[in-house]
Amino acid sequence: MAIPNKNKGRPLSEDELQIVSSFYESDEYSRMQLASDQRKVIAFGMNEYHENTCIKFVPRTSEKNYIRIYKKGSGCSNVSLDDGCVSRIRPGIVLHELMHAAGFFHEHTRPDRDTFVRINFENILEKHVFNFNTNDASKVTTLGLPYDYDSVMHYSRYAFAVDRTRPTITPVPNENVEIGNRRKFSCLDLLKLNALYCSEVK
C-alpha cells in the first residue's frame, strides 16, 4: 500500500498530531438514512481503528479538518458509503474507505507492484482503468513494508472485469494467492497505520 510522502523525513507537528489522532465526522453522518445494521457495520469499522491504532473518529463540532461520510447514490468513495458498501458480510469495505480518508492508496498501485501482480488491462472496464495505474515512487512511500496481498486496500481478482470469468489482477509468481480481503485489517495494514500515525503520539 502506498501512502502520501508529505511527512517523510520530518516529525509531525503538534497541530498535525491533533488532526491525525482524531478524524472528525461531519454532522451529515448523523442524519444519513441508514438501517440499524448498517450503522453497526460502520461502528464496527471505526471501532477496529479505535482498538488497533491511535486513530479515533469523533463527532465534529467546529473543526476545520474533518471527513465527510455520506450517501451519494452509488459507489464507495470519498467516504461515500452507499448501501452496497455497508455489509455485515464484507465489513472491510468500511475499513477500506476510511483508510482512503487517512491517506492510503490501493495496495496494487504501489510503484513496485509489477513484481507481485500482473494487471490484465485488456479485461478492465475502460472507465476504471485509472484505478490500476501505479503511483509515482517520488510521491508515495511504502514505509519499507512488504507487499500485502491480504490488505483491505487490495482489489479482488475480478475487480472491474469486462469478462467476469477472467481476472483483472493475477498474483505472481503464485497465481493461487488470495487477494481482495474485505473482512478485517491485515497485520500489515495495522503496521502501516500505526507507523504513519501513531509513532509520534505520546
- Of 97, 107, 122, 200, which one is the catalytic site residue? 97
Q: Is 70 exceeded by the pLDDT of residue 149?
A: yes
Q: What is the pLDDT of residue 89?
A: 62
Residue 134 has what pLDDT? Answer: 97
Return the higher-pLDDT residue of 78 and 40: 40
Rounded distance between C-alpha atoms, residue 154 and residue 136, angstroms = 18
Q: What is the pTM of this model?
A: 0.77
| Alpha helix ranges (H) inside 32-153 | 36-52, 92-101
Any known ligand binding at 128?
A: no
Q: Output the DSSP codes for 89-136.
A: S-THHHHHHHHHHTT---GGGSTTGGGTEEE-GGGB-GGGGGGGPPPP
CA distance 192 to 145: 8
Higher pLDDT, 8 or 152: 152
More confident residue, 14 or 171: 171
What pLDDT band is residue 103 in, cutting at 50, 70 and 90? confident
Determine the average pLDDT of the residues in 165-188: 95
The predicted structure's pLDDT at residue 78: 53
- In angstroms, rounded to a whole number, what is the distance separating the alpha carbons of residues 62 and 163? 48
Tell me which residue of 112, 102, 192 sits closest to 147, measured CA to CA.
112
Is 122 one of the annotated active-site residues of the chain? no
Percent of the chain predicted with pLDDT > 90: 46
Highest mean pLDDT among 50-59, 64-73, 82-91, 180-189: 180-189
Predicted pLDDT of residue 169: 98
pLDDT surpassing 70 at residue 25: no
- Give the pairing of strands 22-25 and 56-59: parallel
Question: Does pLDDT of 52 surpass 90?
Answer: yes
Mean pLDDT computed over 109-132: 97
Say if residue 106 carries a ligand binding annotation.
yes
Q: Is 96 annotated as a binding residue?
A: yes
Q: pLDDT band at residue 173, thresholds of 50, 70 and 90?
A: very high
Ordered by where they begin, the domains of the chain are: 12-103 (3.40.390.10), 105-186 (3.40.390.10)
